[in-house]
């Protein structure tokens, strides 16, 4: 499949306030809720990239670096970083921001493998990922080997 011209349009940014119903007994964002939001960002990024129905195949290397407190604003930033035949690996970072001080911190980072499906719910090819090579204005295509 040809290199995707829309690759640069797949960055996703989601904002959400952390309210009491999203926290655990410590008053911090429940890890399962953080994962659900990260998966949503990965879903949107992969859907925009492939313009296909996508499903989550795997979440990998989820690093919870610091807690997110009730009342903080969270921003999730995600984008496709690698492609296989029908798979897309999406990196997602979750930042917490104190609205009064403006202090911002990376709290959680992870990767999600999403699979593109056709109308029969079978894996379908996705465009090759176009990446900018550091120090070069030219676009170069690459396809990362994946399980799918």
| pLDDT tens digits along 102-138 | 999 999 999 999 999 999 999 999 999 876 444 443 3
Considering the domain boundaries, does residue 129 fall inside one? yes
pLDDT at position 65: 97
Which 3-state string (H, E, C) describes the chain?
CCECCCHHHHCEEEEEECCHHHECCCCEECHHHHHHHHHHHHHHHHHHHHCCEEEEEEEEEEEECCCCECCCEEEEEEEEEEECCCEEEEEEEEEEECCCCCCEEEEEEEEEEEEEECCCCCECCCCEEEEECCCCCCEEEECCCCCC
Residue range of the domain that includes 95: 7-142
Domain total of the chain: 1
Confidence of residue 9 (pLDDT cuts 50, 70, 90): low
pLDDT at position 77: 98
pLDDT at 18 over 50: yes
Considering the domain boundaries, does residue 74 fall inside one? yes
pLDDT at 146 over 50: no
Considering the domain boundaries, does residue 121 fall inside one? yes
Considering the domain boundaries, does residue 88 fall inside one? yes
Percent of the chain with pLDDT over 90: 78
Considering the domain boundaries, does residue 148 fall inside one? no
Using DSSP bridges, classify how beta strands 53-64 and 73-83 pair: parallel, antiparallel or unpaired.
Answer: unpaired
Considering the domain boundaries, does residue 1 fall inside one? no
Q: What is the mean pLDDT of residues 87-114?
A: 98
Which CATH number covers residue 59? 3.10.129.10
Considering the domain boundaries, does residue 147 fall inside one? no
pLDDT at position 138: 35
What rounded mean pLDDT belongs to the chain?
Answer: 87
Q: What's the pLDDT tens digit per position in 44-57?
A: 999 999 999 999 99
pLDDT at position 10: 75
pLDDT at position 2: 45
In whole angstroms, what is the distance from residue 23 CA to residue 29 CA? 4
Considering the domain boundaries, does residue 2 fall inside one? no
């Amino acid at each position: 499949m040809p290199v995707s011209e829309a690759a640069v349009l797949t960055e996703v940014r989601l904002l959400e306030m952390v309210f009491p119903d999203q926290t655990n007994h410590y008053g911090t964002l429940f890890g399962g809720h953080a994962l659900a939001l990260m998966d949503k960002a990965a879903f949107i990024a992969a859907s925009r990239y492939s313009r296909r129905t996508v499903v989550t195949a795997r979440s990998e290397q989820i690093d919870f670096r610091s807690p997110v407190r009730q009342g903080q604003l969270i921003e999730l930033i995600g984008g496709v970083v690698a492609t296989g035949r029908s798979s897309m690996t999406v990196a997602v970072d979750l930042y917490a921001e104190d609205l009064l001080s403006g202090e911002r911190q990376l709290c959680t980072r992870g990767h999600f493998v999403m699979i593109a499906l056709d109308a029969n719910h079978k894996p379908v090819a996705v465009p090759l990922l176009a990446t900018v090579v550091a120090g070069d204005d030219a676009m170069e295509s690459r396809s990362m080997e994946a399980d799918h």
